[in-house]
Structure 1
Amino acid sequence: MPRDPRLRLVRQDPGTPDLSVPAADRALGAGEPPTGAIGQPVPPDPTVPGAAGVGGRDPFGAGTSPGSPDLAVPAADRGIGGGEPTTETAATEAAEDEADKADEPKRLQDLLGFEDSPVKIYGWIQNSYTGNTNGRGKSGENFGVNPNHKANWWMGNQYYIVVENPLEQDDTVNFGFRVDNLFGHDWQFNYMQGLFNDAFPLNKPGYDLAQLYGEVHLPFLTEGGLDIKGGRFYTLAGYEQVPAIARPLLSTPYMFNYGQPFTHTGVMTTLHLTDKINLYNGAINGWDRWINERYLWGYMGGFSWTSQDDKTTLAMTAVWGPNQFPSFLPASQQIYPTGYVNIPTLAGLRNPGYWRNDRTLFTWVGTHKWNDRLTQVMETDQAWERSIPGLGSGGANGAPRDATWFSYGNWFLYELSPKLTGVWRSEVFWDPQGARTQKIVNGQFVGDRFYEMTLGMIYKPIPNLWIRPEARYDWSQYHNAYTDDTRKSQLTLAVDAIILW
């Protein structure tokens, strides 16, 4: 039985997070966390077709359909891995949601007759094309635009497969696991140092083991209990996430690609303090790195809060710890993690400053549901790092330098119809020392402010198909950064298609 019989779980499709909540609570999977908290869907308004999410309709207009994330909350509260409802609750939900089944994506597992299996297998396919009005240039890069970073190219971004046994949020001790397999061009977007180094050619399809963790639900301490997971998992920080279905647009903002981690390896706890407040605490071995070395441990934690009327959410995440490397990386490596300066003369040598190369990041994400159709999301990030080797001299002699970076982003999601949602994103990303974007002028790293505004939409002609066109304009304030550093702005026109299965 649920801990509070007044709380009714809303059925969600495996693999489709609620994009109206913070990343950690988006329920990226078949899990169904308790109703009420961020990322734990509130009961839908039965008078509104497709009602779901925070205070009204699902911003994607997909109703309670599995695979339709609620983008109205921060990433930390989208419940990645989530929780499975009790048998009795699931039966109740099945009866209540029978009328909505026509709007739900048809999952391959269900069509094969395994819908009742405790182990869920599901995923999606995402392809995209991005055109740059400046042309391809010599490098063919859309600087700042990720993961669709190739100009005038078709990309097979994500062929994504999830295998999981989600937790049940009830009064029993129970165990779960999750494995995310990312095939396609986005493997290098989600790159983790030490895992498959140089295994796949750049800009070609490859593979990334995006998540690999086990977890346990303990019905102790509070009414909602405590969840513990260990392994590799997506970060709690920020609003947008790596999985294509966990963000409202094809492209991601600068703050996501340059300012935040993608994944961590470690242990994370979620304490459901109340039905409106979650507390997060955990130990991680840094940003985007595997367990190939004995990395120093750091900390990630924070909280998420939902208002009594379920229309407003707030999430804060703090990440701290050493984030350079015990030894300088090979000079010939094809990808270097963002924030690492390649110093060929020191390749392979021990880094004497590793212990003091600590990095601190704070992210704040607030959302508000203005009415049944309009949701606003705001995010602000602040970060600093000490003694980054090579930053002070363009990598020539490894001179260290401290660095800071800041960002602010704003999203509006407006449901035009049950099948069509409009999206507007605007952002400023300030990289004073050039540590994150790593632009070099006359042999020196230079800082800059980068801006982008993106107008797009999510169109769902049928529940299993998403089509997302977007027009994005980027510009830099001080230096040429686009089209091989020859221009200070660029306009990209892009579209992606996602098939849920």
Structure 2
Amino acid sequence: MKLSKLALIAALACGTYAGNAFADQSNDIQLVSHCAAAACDCGEPACGCESMNLDCGCGDNSCDGGCAVGCDSGCDSACGVGSCLDDCGLFGDCCLGDPYTLFGEHCGWSAGGWVQMGYHSKGNGLFNSRPDELQLHQAWLYAEKAIDTSNGFDIGGRIDYLYGTDSQDTQAFGTGTGYDNDWDNGPDYGHALPQLYLEMGYGDLSVKLGNFYTIIGWEVVGATGNFFYSHAYTMYNSEPFTHTGALATYNASDDLTVWGGYTTGWDSGFNDNGDSFLGGFSAGLTDDLTFIYTTTFGRFGEARYGADERGYMHSIIADYAVSDSLEYIIQSDFLDTEDVNGATVRETFGINQYLIKTLNDCWAVGGRFEWWNADLAAGNASDVYALTLGANYKPHANVMVRPEIRFDWDDDQIAGLEDGDDQTTFGIDTIFTF
């Protein structure tokens, strides 16, 4: 019945204004890049897209100096093997072109998806739950119609479907009996329908109605929205993944966006599982600095942790573009909840820091350092630390490879570390988009 209603909405949408493609919680990994807008030609590179080698006898290697070092500029002979590795260079010019799409658009609706497969040597219980084996994390399909309110009222929506090991953490698990909780294929693989919503808008105001991803936090469920293969403890343990309800978005100006709405708890699907406020704002303080505050408070779930959990949490994020190719993000989350008797259910505090360096449109490297402090209902308290170093490599516009090495250490084992106090994990995944 729900799918039939969605089909009816799609038919009606053919008579509305066509929307531009959009992404919930970002369906593309956004990397800072000074080459993003340049039409890189390896024979005649654009300014700022030249080979990173500055010792080819060409001075400052600037366009003004008339010495843009291309891959056919003779650097190999002048500076030794490896100065220009191939047509686009390891860290020089990178010419990916446009990605291929499988479905395209029809009546303003677009569809796509991705396949994520990965391997990690050890598990930490944060999505990556099957260590030492190749697994299908996400086989993802979505269909959406983005609203376009430039000419007045418009209506759209989105539906997402997921199969893989990540489905167990993406189903409506907040109730324990959510509508897709029994869509399992064995103990680890299964199906999930994490988003199904209608969106309406007029001018600078839009409203989502249905089941949608949270606005809280920096990391997201969809693999294409994250720099790293693994996830932070804060994201997995202290933040909601999805909400059901209504969420309004108001673009007050080019630099200020405000959110506010009502949800039925955390990760509840279409079950009436709680009553909570969801909101916040995103403000561009300068051209290089964005400040984001998001919060939710109220009843988070009648079935969470065997109690009627209620309380408050917020996430504060500062995103700073240090340069055209270097991005620094710091995030602080606070969560404080109790049960109906006033006993502590979860009290957590976390600080995550990310530093991402874009080398070109093919390569980026980054680091993440996290401190997560938890005081849980069972009386367990812990300080968890994690350092992750990784890279993003795009050999093709539709392919992303993300190797990483991660170091975790903990006061005890409540965080799920296999080896007790410390653990070193190698992981790598590949994402194919279509």
What TM-score do you get using the length of structure 2 for normalisation? 0.76
* Residue 273 (structure 2) aligns with: 295
* Residue 81 (structure 2) aligns with: none
Which SS does the other structure have where 2:108 is aligned? coil
The one-character-per-residue Cα deviations of 1:190-249 (angstroms, maximum 9, x if unpaired) are 131312233315543211101100011112xxxxx1011100000000101000001111
Paired letter, 1:156:
L
* Residue 382 (structure 1) aligns with: 334
> Quick one: distance in 2 between partners of 1:386 and 1:408?
22
> Quick one: distance in 1 between partners of 2:346 and 2:415?
20
User: Residue 214 in 1 paired to residue 193 in 2?
Assistant: no
Which of these residues, 381, 399, 406, is aligned with residue 349 of structure 2?
A: 406
2:21–2:146 Cα contact (<8 Å) kept: no
> Quick one: distance in 2 between partners of 1:317 and 1:405?
16
* Residue 346 (structure 1) aligns with: none
* Residue 393 (structure 2) aligns with: 459
Shift in Å at residue 290 of structure 1?
Answer: 2.2
* Residue 490 (structure 1) aligns with: 423
Say if 1:202 and 1:317 are closer, same or farther in 2 by CA, change over 3 A.
farther
* Residue 148 (structure 1) aligns with: 128
> Quick one: distance in 1 between partners of 2:36 and 2:414?
50
Shift in Å at residue 47 of structure 1?
Answer: 5.7
Shift in Å at residue 181 of structure 1?
Answer: 0.7
* Residue 210 (structure 2) aligns with: 231
Say if 1:457 and 1:14 are closer, same or farther in 2 by CA, change over 3 A.
farther
Which SS does the other structure have where 2:236 is aligned? helix
2:152–2:202 Cα contact (<8 Å) kept: yes
Shift in Å at residue 16 of structure 1?
Answer: 6.4
* Residue 291 (structure 2) aligns with: 314
User: Residue 472 in 1 paired to residue 406 in 2?
Assistant: yes
2:412–2:420 Cα contact (<8 Å) kept: no
Which SS does the other structure have where 2:305 is aligned? coil
Unaligned runs of 5+ in 1: 1-11, 18-22, 30-38, 51-56, 58-99, 133-141, 220-224, 330-339, 343-350, 390-398, 436-443
Which of these residues, 183, 187, 200, is aligned with residue 184 of structure 2?
A: 200
Say if 1:499 and 1:479 are closer, same or farther in 2 by CA, change over 3 A.
closer
> Quick one: distance in 2 between partners of 1:243 and 1:253?
14
> Quick one: distance in 2 between partners of 1:483 and 1:425?
18
> Quick one: distance in 1 between partners of 2:295 and 2:372?
19
Which of these residues, 239, 250, 256, is aligned with residue 277 of structure 1?
A: 256
The one-character-per-residue Cα deviations of 1:366-395 (angstroms, maximum 9, x if unpaired) are 101111110011100111012277xxxxxx
What TM-score do you get using the length of structure 1 for normalisation? 0.66
2:216–2:239 Cα contact (<8 Å) kept: yes
Which of these residues, 355, 358, 377, is aligned with residue 415 of structure 1?
A: 358
> Quick one: distance in 2 between partners of 1:368 and 1:481?
30
> Quick one: distance in 2 between partners of 1:324 and 1:199?
21
Say if 1:129 and 1:402 are closer, same or farther in 2 by CA, change over 3 A.
closer
1:97-108 matches, cutoff 5 A = 103-108=97-102
The one-character-per-residue Cα deviations of 1:340-365 (angstroms, maximum 9, x if unpaired) are 335xxxxxxxx7xx4xx422111001
> Quick one: distance in 2 between partners of 1:304 and 1:121?
28
Paired letter, 1:465:
V
1:481–1:489 Cα contact (<8 Å) kept: no
Which of these residues, 102, 108, 118, is aligned with residue 118 of structure 1?
A: 108
Which SS does the other structure have where 2:184 is aligned? coil
Instruction: Count how many residue pairs are aligned between Structure 1 and Structure 2.
Output: 360
1:374–1:413 Cα contact (<8 Å) kept: yes
Shift in Å at residue 185 of structure 1?
Answer: 1.1
* Residue 146 (structure 2) aligns with: 166
Paired letter, 1:124:
W
Shift in Å at residue 271 of structure 1?
Answer: 0.6
Shift in Å at residue 183 of structure 1?
Answer: 1.2
* Residue 70 (structure 2) aligns with: none
User: Residue 372 in 1 paired to residue 324 in 2?
Assistant: yes
> Quick one: distance in 1 between partners of 2:109 and 2:391?
33
Say if 1:425 and 1:231 are closer, same or farther in 2 by CA, change over 3 A.
same
Say if 1:44 and 1:229 are closer, same or farther in 2 by CA, change over 3 A.
farther
Q: Which has the larger radius of gyration?
A: 2
Which SS does the other structure have where 1:248 is aligned? coil
The one-character-per-residue Cα deviations of 1:236-279 (angstroms, maximum 9, x if unpaired) are 00101000001111111000000100000000000110111001
- Of all paired residues, the percent bearing the same amino acid is 24
Paired letter, 2:188:
K
Unaligned runs of 5+ in 2: 1-18, 42-47, 49-93
Which of these residues, 252, 259, 282, is aligned with residue 304 of structure 1?
A: 282
Shift in Å at residue 463 of structure 1?
Answer: 0.3
Say what the alpha-carbon RMSD is for the aligned residues: 3.0
User: Residue 257 in 1 paired to residue 236 in 2?
Assistant: yes
